[in-house]
C-alpha cells in the first residue's frame, strides 16, 4: 500500500505537469511503473491507459475554453491512432532499447525547437497548393503542410504506441511550428490527439494480455484529477512560459527515456 501511495503521488504530479504542456507523460509513467516492479509490457499497457484518462480530463477543460482545433485533431488524430494501435500490437516483435535511444534523441531536438522564436499565426494568402490543407479556427486561416505532417504523425503514433508514450512531445511542436496555431490551441488539441493515441495503443497491448487492472484503474482515477488540474493551470499560464515548461520537461523526458532503456535491458 505504501508503494502504491508513493507511485500515485508521483503520477499525480506528472499528470498535472504534462497536461499543462499537452504531452501526456507516458514516458514518465512507464519508467515509474517499471521501477515500482511492474513488468515492462504491463507498464506500457498501464501507461497508455492512464494516459488516456488524463488526456480526456484535460481535453474537457480545454474544450470549455475553446482551444481545441477539432479539424486538426480529427485529421491528424485518426492517422496517429491507427499507427499507435499497430505499434502497441507489434511491440512484442521488437527490442525496445534502440528505439528508446532514438526516441530520446528526438525528444531532445523537439524540446530545443520549442525555444526557437516563431510566429504563432501563419498567413497563407496564395491559392492552396497540392499537399497543403487549409482550415479555419476562430475566423483565422491555418494551413498544414501534409508532406511534413503525415510522416511525422505516422512515425510518432507507431513509436508512441510501441513504447507506451503519447507522442505529444512531437505533436505540439508540429502544430505550433508547422500549422501556426497558438500554444494554448496546440496544447488543447494535443490532449485530444493523446487521448486517441493512448486508447488505441492500450487496446493493442490489452489484446496481448498485458492489462493489469489492479494498478491501472486506481491510477486512472488519480490521472483524471491531475489532468483536470493541469488543464486549468495551462489556461492561466502565458504561452511563453508554457513553451519553456514544454522544453524543460521534454529534455527531462529524454533523460528518463534513456534511463528506461538501460533499466529494461
Place of cell 514544454: 246
Select the more confidently predicted residue: 47 or 165.
47
H-run or E-run covering 187: helix 183-207
pLDDT tens digit sequence for 88-139: 787 777 666 766 777 777 778 878 878 876 654 445 454 567 778 777 776 6
Output Rg (C-alpha) for the chain, integer angstroms.
Answer: 17
Q: How many structural domains does the chain have? A: 1
Give me the domain span that covers residue 82: 2-263
pLDDT at position 167, please?
67
Residue 61 clears pLDDT 90, i.e. is over it: yes
pLDDT at position 89, please?
80
Distance (Å, rounded) from C-alpha 83 to C-alpha 201? 9
Quote the Cα angle for 216-75-15, to 5°.
Answer: 30
Give, as one character, the DSSP assignment of residue 178: I
Q: Cβ-count burial of 22 within 10 angstroms (0-12 exposed, 13-18 middle, 19+ buried)?
A: buried
Select the more confidently predicted residue: 144 or 69.
69
pTM value is 0.76
Q: Which three cell numbers stand for residue 176?
A: 505550433
pLDDT tens digit sequence for 1-14: 778 889 899 999 99
pLDDT tens digit sequence for 180-205: 678 888 899 988 888 877 887 788 87
Distance (Å, rounded) from C-alpha 250 to C-alpha 254? 6
Give percent of the chain above pLDDT 70. 86
Residue 66's CB is within 10 A of a number of other CB atoms, namely 12
Q: Which three cell numbers stand for residue 170?
A: 512531437
Distance (Å, rounded) from C-alpha 237 to C-alpha 44? 31
Strands 132-137 and 140-145, how do they pair?
Answer: antiparallel
Decide: 44 and 257 in contact? Cβ < 8 Å: no
Distance (Å, rounded) from C-alpha 106 to C-alpha 114? 13
* Collapsed DSSP state (helix, strand, coil) of residue 40: helix
Distance (Å, rounded) from C-alpha 20 to C-alpha 109? 20
Amino acid at each position: 500500500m505504501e508503494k502504491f501511495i508513493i507511485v500515485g503521488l508521483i503520477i499525480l504530479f506528472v499528470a498535472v505537469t504534462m497536461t499543462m504542456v499537452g504531452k501526456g507523460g507516458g514516458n514518465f509513467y512507464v519508467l515509474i511503473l517499471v521501477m515500482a516492479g511492474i513488468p515492462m509490457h504491463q507498464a506500457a499497457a498501464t501507461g497508455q491507459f492512464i494516459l488516456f484518462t488524463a488526456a480526456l480530463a484535460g481535453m474537457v477543460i480545454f474544450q470549455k475554453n475553446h482551444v481545441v482545433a477539432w479539424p486538426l485533431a480529427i485529421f491528424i488524430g485518426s492517422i496517429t491512432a491507427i499507427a499507435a494501435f499497430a505499434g502497441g500490437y507489434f511491440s512484442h516483435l521488437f527490442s525496445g532499447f534502440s528505439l528508446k535511444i532514438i526516441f530520446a534523441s528526438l525528444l531532445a531536438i523537439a524540446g530545443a525547437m520549442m525555444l526557437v522564436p516563431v510566429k504563432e499565426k501563419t498567413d497563407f494568402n496564395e491559392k492552396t497548393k497540392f499537399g497543403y490543407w487549409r482550415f479555419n479556427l476562430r475566423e483565422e486561416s491555418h494551413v498544414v503542410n501534409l508532406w511534413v505532417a503525415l510522416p511525422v504523425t505516422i512515425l510518432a503514433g507507431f513509436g508512441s504506441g510501441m513504447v507506451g508514450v503519447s507522442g505529444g512531445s512531437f505533436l505540439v511542436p508540429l502544430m505550433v511550428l508547422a500549422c501556426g496555431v497558438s500554444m494554448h490551441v496546440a496544447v488543447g488539441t494535443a490532449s485530444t490527439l493523446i487521448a486517441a493515441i493512448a486508447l488505441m495503443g492500450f487496446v493493442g497491448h490489452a489484446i496481448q494480455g498485458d492489462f493489469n487492472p489492479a494498478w491501472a484503474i486506481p491510477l486512472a482515477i488519480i490521472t483524471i484529477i491531475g489532468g483536470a488540474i493541469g488543464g486549468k493551470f495551462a489556461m492561466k499560464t502565458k504561452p511563453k512560459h508554457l513553451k519553456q515548461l514544454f522544453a524543460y520537461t521534454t529534455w527531462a523526458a529524454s533523460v528518463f527515456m534513456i534511463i528506461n532503456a538501460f533499466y529494461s535491458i
